[in-house]
Amino acid sequence: MNHSLRICVGPTCGVNFSNDLLAETEDRPRDDVMVERCGCLGHCEEGPNLMLNGAVHIDMTPNRLRDLVNALPALPLGMEVSR
Protein backbone atom coordinates (compact mmCIF):
# COMPACT_ATOMS: atom_id res chain seq x y z
CA MET A 1 0.00 0.00 0.00
CA ASN A 2 1.06 3.58 -0.61
CA HIS A 3 0.35 7.06 0.61
CA SER A 4 -3.35 7.76 0.20
CA LEU A 5 -4.40 11.01 -1.44
CA ARG A 6 -8.13 11.57 -1.79
CA ILE A 7 -9.24 14.71 -3.60
CA CYS A 8 -12.76 15.92 -2.99
CA VAL A 9 -14.80 16.30 -6.15
CA GLY A 10 -17.99 17.15 -4.29
CA PRO A 11 -20.10 20.01 -5.62
CA THR A 12 -18.49 22.83 -3.64
CA CYS A 13 -14.90 21.72 -4.10
CA GLY A 14 -15.71 21.10 -7.74
CA VAL A 15 -16.70 24.71 -8.35
CA ASN A 16 -13.59 25.74 -6.40
CA PHE A 17 -11.34 24.04 -8.94
CA SER A 18 -10.58 20.67 -7.38
CA ASN A 19 -9.88 19.58 -10.96
CA ASP A 20 -6.73 21.72 -10.79
CA LEU A 21 -5.58 19.53 -7.88
CA LEU A 22 -6.24 16.39 -9.88
CA ALA A 23 -4.31 17.86 -12.80
CA GLU A 24 -1.36 18.55 -10.49
CA THR A 25 -1.23 14.88 -9.48
CA GLU A 26 -1.39 13.84 -13.13
CA ASP A 27 1.40 16.25 -14.07
CA ARG A 28 3.70 14.93 -11.32
CA PRO A 29 2.72 11.32 -10.59
CA ARG A 30 4.46 9.36 -7.85
CA ASP A 31 4.47 5.58 -7.74
CA ASP A 32 3.99 5.58 -3.97
CA VAL A 33 0.97 7.93 -3.86
CA MET A 34 -2.42 6.46 -4.66
CA VAL A 35 -4.73 9.22 -5.88
CA GLU A 36 -8.50 8.87 -5.71
CA ARG A 37 -11.44 11.15 -6.19
CA CYS A 38 -13.79 11.29 -3.22
CA GLY A 39 -17.05 12.84 -2.14
CA CYS A 40 -17.61 15.62 0.35
CA LEU A 41 -15.16 15.72 3.26
CA GLY A 42 -17.41 17.97 5.36
CA HIS A 43 -15.48 21.24 5.01
CA CYS A 44 -17.18 22.61 1.91
CA GLU A 45 -16.86 26.29 2.74
CA GLU A 46 -13.06 25.91 2.93
CA GLY A 47 -12.52 23.99 -0.30
CA PRO A 48 -11.07 22.73 -2.37
CA ASN A 49 -10.10 20.07 0.12
CA LEU A 50 -8.32 16.75 0.19
CA MET A 51 -7.40 13.97 2.57
CA LEU A 52 -3.79 12.82 2.74
CA ASN A 53 -3.09 9.68 4.76
CA GLY A 54 -6.26 10.28 6.76
CA ALA A 55 -5.74 13.99 7.51
CA VAL A 56 -7.97 16.61 5.90
CA HIS A 57 -6.24 19.60 4.30
CA ILE A 58 -8.39 22.61 3.41
CA ASP A 59 -8.12 25.56 1.04
CA MET A 60 -5.75 23.71 -1.25
CA THR A 61 -4.00 25.00 -4.34
CA PRO A 62 -1.87 23.05 -6.80
CA ASN A 63 1.25 24.63 -5.26
CA ARG A 64 0.23 23.68 -1.72
CA LEU A 65 -0.56 20.15 -2.88
CA ARG A 66 2.85 19.89 -4.56
CA ASP A 67 4.53 20.96 -1.30
CA LEU A 68 2.55 18.38 0.69
CA VAL A 69 3.42 15.56 -1.68
CA ASN A 70 7.06 16.59 -1.91
CA ALA A 71 7.27 16.44 1.90
CA LEU A 72 6.08 12.82 1.99
CA PRO A 73 8.74 10.22 2.66
CA ALA A 74 9.34 7.99 -0.33
CA LEU A 75 7.94 4.53 0.29
CA PRO A 76 9.28 1.34 -1.16
CA LEU A 77 6.60 -0.29 -3.24
CA GLY A 78 4.43 -2.57 -1.13
CA MET A 79 5.08 -0.75 2.17
CA GLU A 80 2.03 0.22 4.20
CA VAL A 81 1.50 3.60 5.87
CA SER A 82 0.21 3.28 9.42
CA ARG A 83 -2.73 5.56 10.19
Residues near ligand FES (CB under 6 A): 8, 10-13, 40-44, 47, 49
Q: Which is nearer to ligand FES, 2 or 18 (CB)?
A: 18
The conformational region for residue 42 under phi > 0 = left, psi -120 to 50 = alpha, else beta, is: left
Rounded to 5 degrees, what are φ and ψ at 33?
Answer: -125, 115
Q: What is the smallest separation between the CB atom of 2 and ligand FES, expressed in angstroms?
A: 23
Rounded Cα gap, residues 11 and 56, in angstroms: 17
Name the residue with the smallest CB distance to ligand FES.
10
To ligand FES, the closest distance from the beta carbon of 70 in angstroms equals: 23
